[in-house]
């Protein structure tokens, strides 16, 4: 409706100023919610460092657990490979006893040599993994043992902020309720148009007229446009920033 002046003629003077007042209030509530959510979700600057240190500890535990799981898998895989290699070694040793020619004999010896090398390499890998797992387990154990106390201490440091977050959440309940009520009183088409405009205009779709100027871009409103605004029969957009102008005789 904001771009089609004809439909506005259906609105009586009072209807339009009511709609603008509703939109202005709706916008201020939406902005309030966004601002409070931002505040709630931003770690206060004095706690950033403390929080980062704590998050690192939590993440270190998670990373250790992940690595332990991987290392256990790798260890089992190495065990399987080792069993395979030993099986092969036995087979070649048996073959060696029944070779018919020196060519077969040296071929079997080569096979045995290769598989013995593979066994040594896999055994080394297996022992490394065992050592890594043992170290990681000890590290994890001590980190997990101190984590509950650290968490408690961290929450104690964050106590004031947590309280503020809860208070913000309480405020948001009321604000969201009012947004719902305001939106349900506005026709869907106008509501959608308003939402589009508020998105396009970085949260400010309706600008209050203050001292004869648009309060969003501070450009003076032409006298003719001011007259239309005062009549309150048509929606007027700011020439400069293209926002809907809201003229409230009490605040201008």
- CB nearer to Zn ion: pick between 54 and 246: 246
Nearest approach, Cβ of residue 240 and Zn ion (Å): 5
Q: How many residues in the shown chain lie near Zn ion by CB under 5 A?
A: 6
Nearest approach, Cβ of residue 178 and Zn ion (Å): 26
* CA angle, 111 then 117 then 123, to 5°: 135
- CB nearer to Zn ion: pick between 71 and 214: 214
Nearest approach, Cβ of residue 238 and Zn ion (Å): 3
Decide: is 210 part of the binding site for Zn ion (CB under 5 A).
no
Decide: is 225 part of the binding site for Zn ion (CB under 5 A).
no
Stretch that binds Zn ion, among 29-37, 64-72, 87-95, 212-220 (CB under 5 A): 212-220
Decide: is 197 part of the binding site for Zn ion (CB under 5 A).
no
Nearest approach, Cβ of residue 243 and Zn ion (Å): 5
**Cβ atoms 111, 134 nearer than 8 A:** no
Enumerate residues 6+ apart whose C-beta is below 8 A from 56. Answer: none
Give CA–CA dist 136/251, Å, rounded.
67
Decide: is 238 part of the binding site for Zn ion (CB under 5 A).
yes
Nearest approach, Cβ of residue 230 and Zn ion (Å): 17
Site string for Zn ion, 32-71 (x = CB under 5 A): ----------------------------------------
Decide: is 241 part of the binding site for Zn ion (CB under 5 A).
yes
- CB nearer to Zn ion: pick between 216 and 235: 216
- CB nearer to Zn ion: pick between 36 and 201: 201
Q: Which of 205, 214, 235, 244 touches Zn ion by CB under 5 A?
A: 214
Q: Counting Cβ atoms within 10 Å, is residue 214 exposed (0-12), middle (13-18) or buried (19+)?
A: buried
Nearest approach, Cβ of residue 242 and Zn ion (Å): 7
Binding site for Zn ion (CB under 5 A): 214, 216-217, 238, 240-241
């Amino acid at each position: 409706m904001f771009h089609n002046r004809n439909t506005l003629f259906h609105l009586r003077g009072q209807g339009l100023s009511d709609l603008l007042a509703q939109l202005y209030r709706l916008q201020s509530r939406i902005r309030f919610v966004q601002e409070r959510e931002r505040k709630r979700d931003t770690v206060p600057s004095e706690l950033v460092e403390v929080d980062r240190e704590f998050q690192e500890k939590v993440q270190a535990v998670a990373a250790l657990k992940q690595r332990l799981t991987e290392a256990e898998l790798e260890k089992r895989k190495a065990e399987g490979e080792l069993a395979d290699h030993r099986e092969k070694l036995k087979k070649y040793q048996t073959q060696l006893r029944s070779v018919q020619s020196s060519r077969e004999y040296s071929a079997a010896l080569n096979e045995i040599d290769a598989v013995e090398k593979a066994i040594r390499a896999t055994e080394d890998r297996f022992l490394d993994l065992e050592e890594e797992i043992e170290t990681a387990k000890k590290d994890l154990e001590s980190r997990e043992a101190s984590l509950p106390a650290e968490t408690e201490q961290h929450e104690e440091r964050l106590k004031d902020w947590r309280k503020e977050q809860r208070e913000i959440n309480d405020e948001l309940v009321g604000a969201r309720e009012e947004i719902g009520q305001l939106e349900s009183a506005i026709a869907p088409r106008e509501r959608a148009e308003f939402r589009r405009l508020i998105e396009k205009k970085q949260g400010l779709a309706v600008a209050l007229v203050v001292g004869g100027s648009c309060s969003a871009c501070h450009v003076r409103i032409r006298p003719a446009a001011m007259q239309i605004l005062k009549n309150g029969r048509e929606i007027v957009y700011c020439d400069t920033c293209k926002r809907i102008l809201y003229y409230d005789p009490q605040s201008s």
